[in-house]
Structure 1
Amino acid sequence: MKIAVIGSNMVDLTSYITRMPTLGETLEAPDFSMGCGGKGANQAVAAAKYGADVLMVTKVGDDFFADNTIANFKKNGIDTTYVQKVPGVSSGVAPIFVDKSGQNSILIIKGANNELKPADIDAAAEDLKACKMIILQLEISLETVYYAIEFGNKYNIPVLLNPAPATNELDIDKVCQCDFFMPNETELAILTGMSVSDETEIEAAAKSLAVRGLKHVIVTMGARGSLLIDENGTQLVKPFKVNAVDSSGAGDAFIGCFACCYVENHDIVAAMKTASAFAALSVTKRGTQKSYPERADVLKLLNA
């Protein structure tokens, strides 16, 4: 089953810290790592790791990061036909700060990701039509996101939108054409303006989006699991308890695995459960894509 990811790639620059420095302060951090990331690329790798045939549509810069990003896609079995370099522009980068508890704070510089345009979707149209799902995020222009949603609807391809990083500029009415809308709690709060301090508030905020026409709202809640709101009601999928080391990329892990599972069996709750196991294993190691587990390890956790 082929899945298309139309979206971002970044170079993750991860600093492991004891605490964030205050203004004007310099602190020594205990460790640093560099790797391939970006929400679109992470989701593509997660889907591929779980067994999907993935087509990536993205842009990289003309710097020394670009060739490494393309090579990483190929290493993970991802089709790079539509991964293009943009002259005179930097690749996207994401400085990430991970504290002792494994929680992270992230900055993103979009770089070449801003150059992904509707024309690039048209250029990939014939290959996109063969896909069973299109995955989108918001690290590319909203114009391109909306165009991709329209493309999916035109050719009856299910569309999954991860509204991250969340922005109040997102037109909920335009994204109601998506089959799946997948924010985390923070993104849900930004998009709705509602409190999400507990599961009751999260459910209320998600329902406020569902009543506007979104078919399936799935909220990823980290250690609290994931929550589905659709016309059939509400379903909580409990998390798998693990020793978290680094939560970077866990939401992307969930989304990529979910997409792969859903196109295989079209069972939403079963796909959520498998995605929860995949994401749980991902936080037991440092990094984003390099922390993503093999399918056999996920199945072992599910059957434990």
Structure 2
Amino acid sequence: MIYHYKNQRHRYILSEIQKSGRVSVVLLAKSLKVATRTIRRDIQELAITGRIKPCYGGATLVANPEHNLYDDSQNYLYQNMNINNQLSHLERRRNTEKSGSVFIIGSFNTDLVYRVDDFPLSGESIRAINSCCLPGGKGSNQAIACTMAGGKTHFTVKLGDDEFAQKAQLFLRGLMLEQLTCFEKKACPTGSAVVMVSESAGDNAIIINPGANQTFTVDEIISCYDDISNSHVFLTQMENNPDATALAIKFAHTCGLTTILNPAPWRAEVNELIPWTTIITPNLTEAGAIVGHTLLTRDDIQQAAEDIHELGARFVLITLGKEGCWLYDGNKHRQFSAFPAVNVDTSGAGDAFNGALAARLAEGESLESAIIYASAFAALAVEREGASNMPEHDATLSKILSEQ
């Protein structure tokens, strides 16, 4: 067993330390067939996450990290990530010629989440049922989803110069991404959002302060060109400054990548990016905004899909919530049914769908197969608290099998 890539070694080290609470540098080096200095360096990097602590000859598991990244919720990703399953899936993927990588450029926000009985009316003050502070942002959520769905994920993000940025760095370094590129904007806040989740409506409302997400520079995007060109699927959203998003997606398209544009939140610049898009994934509201009118009927959805296709997208994939999604490829329409789910938190459903879709396409699956997988993945995601709390790959496969 030889793990040449750092993220593979990190996953293995975390899986071993969770079994016994302690690992040895010498034994790890022997198992992984690398130098002991490489293992010591890996342990120092993993220690940044607060999950392990270096000790003489190895490292020990930190059961209760002293620093709280995101209140009581900072460990949910580790608790829900089945590292052994991730490793076995990674080993299978290494032998698959069609496997590829996903480049995601997007946002990171610190989410202040409030669960309420009903959304407040104008001028009304209400009491929250509970609240928490969680990592979020469409880019970050989609990168987590892509990773959990088995995708080799390169995430590029820009943070501010504040306490939220420090927490974000710690969180992102602990995600076991294939690669992380993190730019920083001095004297600028990190992106943040207020998320209200209504118990009665089973829906959410979100207010975003984009902060550093809106400050990508041309030079920063150009510095990513090599990594973009070496990827297979490119995924982005609209929470970053549109000129940077346009530069990145146009370059990815020119390099022949499958480009996925999630036009959320919608803004006028979306229409300019559609000709550079292989797959566009608006929800019902965003699709209506693109074509300029509200979509109320099945005929409206069908016509909107055709109109958006005429703007230049090769595939139009409109997500319809509990009604599933609608695909138009320029020749035929097809509606995919949603998987049953008990809604707990719908705020990350779209991000779960997009990240999982990108992961499976990069693995060489057909678009139809990737859509079915992404639908099951999103159904599991809405049953979890937190927009970035994504399900496991094996659980998704089990859900697909159970519904056949």
TM-score w.r.t. structure 1 length?
Answer: 0.95
Q: Counterpart of 2:394?
A: 296
CA contact (8 A) 2:101 2:233 kept: yes
CA contact (8 A) 2:357 2:370 kept: yes
Letter of the 1:7 partner, please give it. G
SS at match of 1:55: strand
CA distance, structure 1, for counterparts of residue 180 and residue 381 of structure 2: 28
1:227-238 pair list within 5 angstroms: 227-238=326-337
1:120-131 pair list within 5 angstroms: 120-131=220-231
Structure 1 residues 177, 115: CA separation in 2 closer, same or farther (over 3 Å shift)?
same
Shift of the alpha carbon at 1:71? 2.1
Deviation sequence 1:184-220 (CA, Å, 0-9, x none): 0011111111221233322211211112221011011
Letter of the 1:84 partner, please give it. F
Q: Counterpart of 2:250?
A: 150
Structure 1 residues 264, 232: CA separation in 2 closer, same or farther (over 3 Å shift)?
farther
CA distance, structure 1, for counterparts of residue 270 and residue 345 of structure 2: 32
The answer on 1:166 being equivalent to 2:266 is yes
Shift of the alpha carbon at 1:40? 0.8
The answer on 1:272 being equivalent to 2:371 is yes
Shift of the alpha carbon at 1:39? 0.7
Which structure has the greater CA radius of gyration?
A: 2
Deviation sequence 1:2-26 (CA, Å, 0-9, x none): 1111111111111101122333332
Deviation sequence 1:88-146 (CA, Å, 0-9, x none): 00000110111014200111110000111232121122222211111111101111111
CA contact (8 A) 2:274 2:311 kept: no
CA distance, structure 1, for counterparts of residue 357 and residue 223 of structure 2: 27
CA distance, structure 1, for counterparts of residue 335 and residue 124 of structure 2: 43
CA contact (8 A) 2:111 2:135 kept: yes
SS at match of 1:200: helix
CA distance, structure 1, for counterparts of residue 385 and residue 297 of structure 2: 28
CA distance, structure 1, for counterparts of residue 296 and residue 137 of structure 2: 27
Deviation sequence 1:270-298 (CA, Å, 0-9, x none): 100000000000111211112x1000100
CA contact (8 A) 1:49 1:76 kept: no
**Structure with more relative contact order (C-alpha pairs < 8 Å, separation 6 or more):** 1
Q: Counterpart of 2:315?
A: 216
CA contact (8 A) 1:70 1:80 kept: no
Bigger shift: residues 116-125 or 8-17: 116-125
Q: Which runs of 4+ in 1 moved over 6 A?
A: none
Q: Counterpart of 2:142?
A: 43
Shift of the alpha carbon at 1:28? 1.0
SS at match of 1:95: strand
CA distance, structure 2, for counterparts of residue 81 and residue 44 of structure 1: 10
Identity rate, percent: 29
CA contact (8 A) 1:194 1:205 kept: no
Structure 1 residues 85, 173: CA separation in 2 closer, same or farther (over 3 Å shift)?
closer
CA contact (8 A) 2:197 2:203 kept: yes
Deviation sequence 1:163-197 (CA, Å, 0-9, x none): 11012x22525421211111000111111112212
Letter of the 2:329 partner, please give it. D
Structure 1 residues 195, 26: CA separation in 2 closer, same or farther (over 3 Å shift)?
closer
Q: Counterpart of 2:345?
A: 246
SS at match of 1:72: helix
CA contact (8 A) 1:94 1:108 kept: yes
The answer on 1:23 being equivalent to 2:125 is no
Bigger shift: residues 45-54 or 194-203: 194-203
SS at match of 1:176: helix
For structure 2, list consecutive stretches of 5 or more residues without a partner in the other structure.
1-99
Q: Counterpart of 1:105?
A: 205
How many pairs are equivalent?
302
Bigger shift: residues 91-100 or 125-134: 125-134
CA distance, structure 2, for counterparts of residue 153 and residue 245 of structure 1: 37
Shift of the alpha carbon at 1:81? 4.1
CA distance, structure 1, for counterparts of residue 235 and residue 277 of structure 2: 10
Q: Counterpart of 1:117?
A: 217
Structure 1 residues 171, 47: CA separation in 2 closer, same or farther (over 3 Å shift)?
closer
